[in-house]
Amino acid sequence: MPHMFIPGPVDVDPEVLQAQTQPMLPHRSREFEALYRQTVEKTRPIFGTNGRIYITASSGTGLQEAAVRNFTQTRILSCINGAFGKRWHTVATTNGKLAEALEFEWAVPVNPSVVAEAVRRGRYEAVTIVHNETSTGVQNPVQEIAAAVHEASPQTLVCVDAVSSLGGVEIEMDAWGIDFLLTSSQKCLALPPGLGLAAVSDRALEYATQVPHRGWYFDLLRLEKHRLKDSTPATPAVSLIYALDRQMDRILKEGLEKRFTRHRLLGIKVREWALGQGFGLYAPEGFQSNTVTTVINRHKLDVGALNAYLQNRGMRIANGYGPLKNETFRIAHMGETQADDIETLLTAINEFISKH
């Protein structure tokens, strides 16, 4: 099996791919409702919530849009320390929302005290934060940020993008006081792209009732009305839901503790290798992602040539994101990636280095 060490889409287990080939179901049927209900229930532990979860036929960006359309009448605060925080801000402004950008250097984690200070001054309805910045490999301290926001401005909703961490890293939505938590199917959940998943707190849903022009497709109140009937407003991606149902069985069978530990050990392994080879790490100590590592390319390797070398061996890594291209490269270690897979990859990179 080729190994995609890129931060999504990642490899999907053949059993999960196969699950998609089951016959279609009419979505307005008891069979589909039972499938939808059981699948949603299985995802609950990865969100760390007892509350509502929606599964949408969209990628994660659709759910970034859901947050800004449902929770903003006047203005929100967008925390930005990478490309996906920036995207969420752009999603807000292109929806006509007044979104203020709270920008940090890309290699610097979002600072809870700075966010608290901003929400104290600003009376924001919501704050958007990316948990794991896939563009940089910086993991933001979401638990601390949520606590700081609650203390500074209790009514402000805390919205978190966990696209490249949910299912690979512990996140406790209810315990941490997160109001909106979104992810995509193609990262740590190791599914094909095409599903968005989001959990929404009671008070966030209540807030949405006051917000006009929520649109149709991502109107949370419409999604809720249908969720209460174990269904969706529009035609769901039935095949992908079969795949999610099967993959959640596999994830729960592995056990969340074990899964999170596996990701943590993979992160340590890649970081130790990078430092051992004389590369640098882009993310600062204590904020390094356990799902994707951004390696500072101190040896000025030709990343294109490295990737061609790896692709000849059935593997693939990612170049640095946007302005970090060639200056860095990224190794993802998420989803179903095992220690042996990383070992094989790092051995091949070592071979490339020794030949160049």
Nearer to ligand PLP among residue 143 and residue 289 (C-beta) = 289
Helix (H, G, I), strand (E, B) or coil at 199: strand
128 scored as a contact of ligand PLP (CB under 6 A)? no
Q: What is the DSSP string of 93-140?
A: HHTT-EEEEEE--TTSPPPHHHHHHHHHHH--SEEEEESEETTTTEEP
Closest to 157 (Cα-Cα) out of 68, 49, 54, 58: 68
Residues 18-57 that bind ligand PLP (CB under 6 A): none
Is residue 334 within 8 A of residue 137, CB to CB? The reply is no
293 scored as a contact of ligand PLP (CB under 6 A)? no
Nearer to ligand PLP among residue 152 and residue 236 (C-beta) = 236
346 scored as a contact of ligand PLP (CB under 6 A)? no
Closest to 244 (Cα-Cα) out of 165, 169, 188: 188
Nearer to ligand PLP among residue 101 and residue 301 (C-beta) = 101
Return the bridge partners of 180, or none: 159, 200
Kindly tell me which residue out of 60, 109, 167, 335 binds ligand PLP, with binding defined by CB under 6 A.
Answer: 60
> What is the closest distance, in whole angstroms, from the C-beta atom of residue 23 to ligand PLP in the complex?
27
Q: How many angstroms separate the CA atoms of 356 and 354, rounded?
A: 6
289 scored as a contact of ligand PLP (CB under 6 A)? no
> What is the closest distance, in whole angstroms, from the C-beta atom of residue 115 to ligand PLP in the complex?
18
288 scored as a contact of ligand PLP (CB under 6 A)? no
Tell me the CA distances in angstroms from 285 to 156, 268, 281, 289, one per residue in order: 30, 11, 9, 10
Return the bridge partners of 143, or none: none
Nearer to ligand PLP among residue 8 and residue 112 (C-beta) = 8
> What is the closest distance, in whole angstroms, from the C-beta atom of residue 61 to ligand PLP in the complex?
3
AA letter at 319: N
Q: Cβ contacts of residue 223 below 8 Å, gap of 6+?
A: 54, 56, 232, 233
> What is the closest distance, in whole angstroms, from the C-beta atom of residue 130 to ligand PLP in the complex?
5
> What is the closest distance, in whole angstroms, from the C-beta atom of residue 249 to ligand PLP in the complex?
23
130 scored as a contact of ligand PLP (CB under 6 A)? yes
Backbone angles phi, psi at 225, to 5 degrees: -55, -40
Kindly tell me which residue out of 53, 92, 163, 334 binds ligand PLP, with binding defined by CB under 6 A.
Answer: 163
168 scored as a contact of ligand PLP (CB under 6 A)? no
324 scored as a contact of ligand PLP (CB under 6 A)? no
Q: What is the dihedral of CA 8, 321, 218, 242, to 10 degrees?
A: 0
Q: Cβ contacts of residue 161 below 8 Å, gap of 6+?
A: 60, 64, 84, 85, 88, 128, 129, 130, 131, 182, 183
Number of residues engaging ligand PLP in binding (CB under 6 A): 11
8 scored as a contact of ligand PLP (CB under 6 A)? yes
Kindly tell me which residue out of 39, 72, 134, 297 binds ligand PLP, with binding defined by CB under 6 A.
Answer: 134
Q: How many angstroms separate the CA atoms of 127 and 256, rounded?
A: 28
Q: Cβ contacts of residue 228 below 8 Å, gap of 6+?
A: none
Kindly tell me which residue out of 11, 65, 161, 179 binds ligand PLP, with binding defined by CB under 6 A.
Answer: 161
Site string for ligand PLP, 238-267 (x = CB under 6 A): ------------------------------
184 scored as a contact of ligand PLP (CB under 6 A)? yes
* HSE value, Cβ hemisphere, 13 Å, CA-based, for 273: 21
Is residue 227 within 8 A of residue 50, CB to CB? The reply is no
Site string for ligand PLP, 76-105 (x = CB under 6 A): --------x---------------------
Nearer to ligand PLP among residue 39 and residue 289 (C-beta) = 289
164 scored as a contact of ligand PLP (CB under 6 A)? yes
Interaction site with ligand PLP (CB under 6 A): 8, 59-61, 84, 130, 134, 161, 163-164, 184
